[in-house]
Structure formats: structure tokens, C-alpha cells
Structure 1
Amino acid sequence: MSTERRAPLDRAKVADTALRLLNETGLDGLTLRGIARELEVKAPALYWHFKDKQALLDEMATQMQRRMAADAALDPADTWQERLTKVNRGLRAALLGYRDGAKVYSGSRFTGTDHAPALEAHLRLLTQAGFALAQAVDAARTANAYTIGFVTEEQGVRPLPGERREGFDVEDRARRLADFPLAAAAGELLFDDYDRQFDEGLAVVIAGIGARYRVG
């Protein structure tokens, strides 16, 4: 009989394992039973830590946020436009690191307060730039929602970088829509060069925020 002692099971270890499996199974295929098998424990052991799959998703989203914050290098001298741009580019990059990353992150509740210092700093920067607090929250939420929505659509076409879902071949689409030249030409703009698409859309959102609240 092996005398090797297994490391204690905790929420972080379960969430880390779930995030690793997510790239293999996708969100629909991710199960507590599969995670338990990977951890070499019985499925009921996970219920000591998570009452259901949503509780696990909350912890996974929290781990994603922690990793994203650890990689962030934000400058206190940023303008509010620069800060919203950097934060949302960073969020997109983080979500793209996981199959169905945007779906996991969307609607989840952070399980700790690790996100609070960055949130406080972002809101302070926005209010010091001239936004009322309510406007700063609306601005940040709007940009965040744009990013999550964009990545959800992006991952519907490219589940992971380098992958492409069947049915989204731009040239084939153009042939099928040959009688509709504008719609056919739009395919290249809709389903290719997602970096350009994202940056252009984010610039529109940020410009709209400035115009709406008259903050330069």
C-alpha cells in the first residue's frame, strides 16, 4: 500500500483542475464527476466545497480574475480612455485562454474580495476624470458587457485560438451569398481579424461613453 500522502483537497485546487479540463471538454462537458475522476476522489467529496455546478463556476471565474489581475500592469497615470482600453483588452485575452471562457465568466459571482482593490482604483480614476460614481459604474459595466459579449461570439466561431468551427469558412460563405454582394463581402469583416474587430468596437464604446457623459 502506498504511503504517499495526497495534498488536501481545497476550493482552489478543484477550480484549477476544472479550468484545465474546460479546454478539453467545453462548458457543456464539464461535470463534477469528471473533475472528481481527474482528482482521484469520489464525486461527493466535491460537494463539501461546492453545493452545485454554479458554485464551482463562481470559483472558476474568481480564479480567472485573480490570474488576470496578476498579469495586469496598469499605470496610475492612465487617462480613463486608456484604462478602459487596457482593462478590456486584458479581459478579452484572459477569456480567450479557456474554451467557453466568456460563458464561464459571464454572470458568475466572485467568491472573494481580491477584485476590490483594482475595482476601487478604476472607479477612482474615472471619478477623478469627471464622472459621477453612477456614471463611472455605468461606463465600466458597459465596456465590460461589450467585451464579454464580443468574446462569447468570437468563441462561437473560434472556441480556442487556432480552432475554427465548421460552417464559418469566409470564402464558402461568399460563394453562397454571391447574389448579395454587400452581405457576401461582410463575411470577411464579421468572421476574420477579431483583434481589429474588437479594438474598433471598443473604441466606439469608449467614444460613446465620453460623448454621453461629456467627459473628455
Structure 2
Amino acid sequence: MTTPYLSAAEPVWERPEPRTRSAPVPLSRAKIAATAIRLADEHGLDGLSVRKIAKELGVGPMRLYDYVVNRSELLDLMVDAVYARIAAADRPSDWRAAIVAIARLTRVAALEHEWFADLLGGRPHLGPNALAVGESTAAALSRAPGVRDIADLQRAAGTLSAFLIGALRREVTERRTARSTGTDERAWQASLGPYLTRQLETGRYPTIARLVIDGADLEPEEDFDRNLTTVLDGITGRPAPR
């Protein structure tokens, strides 16, 4: 049974580790999270279960419930372990360079751990490492020229978050689709090329035609950086009159 995210019990990050038991396999929340991450990387979140983690660790499933009470807490530990690498990286002093660094590291994390992208945009990530990344992000955004008060900061943070969630989920979805179909994006585009050409030649879609014919064909990393630049340019600008 899954308990509410915010309950009267201490959050998993603040509960002390269970007392060491005389067992052949020592456990810790960090060890459980690392094993769960490895399994999720291989099989996705659908293939993740307490029983599989316990088998991988060589212990009985009930031992794991001394450390995490449900699947939600397990996911919380996994997510925060991924955020740890982002939180540990050095931050440039310039606000914009700091945001770019955080965004790029988040992209790397999502591509290394595709399940991480599935969990972006759901319930808030409130582990200590996630909070550290959130603090660095908010602090950098608060120094942007177009951010003058808390309302501006909320809008800037929301816009950046929406961009990251959408961009990373799209890229991960495209990678998964390519693997499942055995077709990369260029091959897919080539297979539909004649159809698309016929449709564009009708003249009914002039703006789409400009995008397809004249638009830059960028690699995913270049596309991510360019769109991130557009978002940050917007944050530095003045809001439209109300």
C-alpha cells in the first residue's frame, strides 16, 4: 500500500538507518538505491520491484522494508541519488552559465537513466540533493536581469522547468522509439520523405514547409542548447504589458 507523499512519518531522507543486523549481507539505503538504479537502467521502472532488488542483493524481500516502506520511498531515494551528481558539480558565478551547466547535467542524467525523465514533472522532488539543485537553480535565476521580484522568479523557474521536462521527455521517447523499431530518426524521415513532399507541394502548409526546408537540421545536443538559449533570452527580457 502506498502512503501519502507527505505523511506524519519522518521522510525517508531523515529517518536513521536501521540498526545493523547480524546478517551475511550488510544493507544501507544508498546500497539499495544503487541496486535499484542499475535494475531500472536495464529494465525500466516497469521492471523494478522489491523482490528483484532483494534477489540482486542476496537478501529476503522483507529486509528491504526496514529501509523503505513502499515503492514511492524507493523512487525518492533513486531520484535523489541521481540529483547528487548534479548537486556536486561546480557552479559558474555567472547566472546564465550556472543555469546552462545545471540544464546540461540534467540532460546527461536523463540520457544515462531514462527512467529519471519519466519522473520529471510529477510530484516534487524534495530530497536533499534535489533541493540543493533547486536552490542553485533558483538562486541563479534570481540574478537574471529580467527577474525583479518573487513573481518574476516564479515565472522564470516555471518556464525553465517546463522546458526541461518537455525537452528531456521528448528526447528520451525518441531514443526509445528508435530502439524498439530498429529505425533511427533520419531513416524514419527518409521513409516518409515522398509523402511529406507531396503534402508540402499542395501549398496548404507554407510555414511548416519553411521549417522543413529552411530550418537547421541539428543534433539533439545542439537543439537542446539552442532552445535553452531561447528560454534564457526570454527570462532576461521584459514581460509583456498586462
TM-score (norm 2): 0.71
> Aligned partners of 2:61 and 2:49: how far apart in 1?
10
Match of 1:199 among 225, 231, 237: 225
> Aligned partners of 1:58 and 1:39: how far apart in 2?
19
Match of 2:154 among 131, 134, 137: 137
Q: Does 1:51 align with 2:66?
A: no
CA change 1:43–1:108 in 2 (3 A) is farther
> Aligned partners of 2:228 and 2:71: how far apart in 1?
32
> Aligned partners of 2:137 and 2:125: how far apart in 1?
17
Q: Which amino acid aligns with 1:149?
A: G
Is the contact made by 2:86 and 2:102 (CA closer than 8 Å) also made in structure 1? Answer: no
Q: Does 1:103 align with 2:121?
A: no
> Aligned partners of 1:69 and 1:135: how far apart in 2?
24
Is the contact made by 2:81 and 2:129 (CA closer than 8 Å) also made in structure 1? Answer: no
Is the contact made by 1:60 and 1:104 (CA closer than 8 Å) also made in structure 2? Answer: no
Q: Which amino acid aligns with 1:15?
A: A
> Aligned partners of 2:130 and 2:44: how far apart in 1?
25
Match of 1:123 among 121, 138, 141: 138
Is the contact made by 2:118 and 2:169 (CA closer than 8 Å) also made in structure 1? Answer: yes
Q: CA deviation at 1:44?
A: 2.1
Give me the identity figure in percent.
31
CA change 1:83–1:113 in 2 (3 A) is same
> Aligned partners of 2:239 and 2:142: how far apart in 1?
12
> Aligned partners of 1:179 and 1:60: how far apart in 2?
44
Deviations 1:99-135 (A, max 9, x none): 3221134425445334445544443343344521332
Q: Which amino acid aligns with 2:25?
A: R
Match of 1:113 among 128, 150, 162: 128
Deviations 1:44-65 (A, max 9, x none): 2222222322221111111111
SS state at 2:65 partner: helix
SS state at 2:127 partner: coil
Q: Does 1:152 align with 2:169?
A: yes
Match of 2:13 in 1: none
Q: Does 1:174 align with 2:200?
A: no
Mark the runs of 5 or more structure 1 residues left unpaired by the alignment. none
CA change 1:123–1:111 in 2 (3 A) is closer
Is the contact made by 2:84 and 2:129 (CA closer than 8 Å) also made in structure 1? Answer: yes
Q: After the TM superposition, which of the residue ranges 147-156 and 129-138 deviates more from structure 2?
A: 129-138
TM-score (norm 1): 0.78
Match of 2:56 in 1: 38
Deviations 1:119-155 (A, max 9, x none): 4444334334452133223312321331122111111
Is the contact made by 1:23 and 1:99 (CA closer than 8 Å) also made in structure 2? Answer: yes
Q: CA deviation at 1:14?
A: 1.0
> Aligned partners of 1:175 and 1:118: how far apart in 2?
42
Q: Which amino acid aligns with 1:41?
A: V
Match of 1:6 among 19, 25, 36: 25
Is the contact made by 2:110 and 2:172 (CA closer than 8 Å) also made in structure 1? Answer: no
Mark the runs of 5 or more structure 2 residues left unpaired by the alignment. 1-21, 201-207
Q: After the TM superposition, which of the residue ranges 26-35 and 40-49 deviates more from structure 2?
A: 40-49
| Number of matched pairs | 205
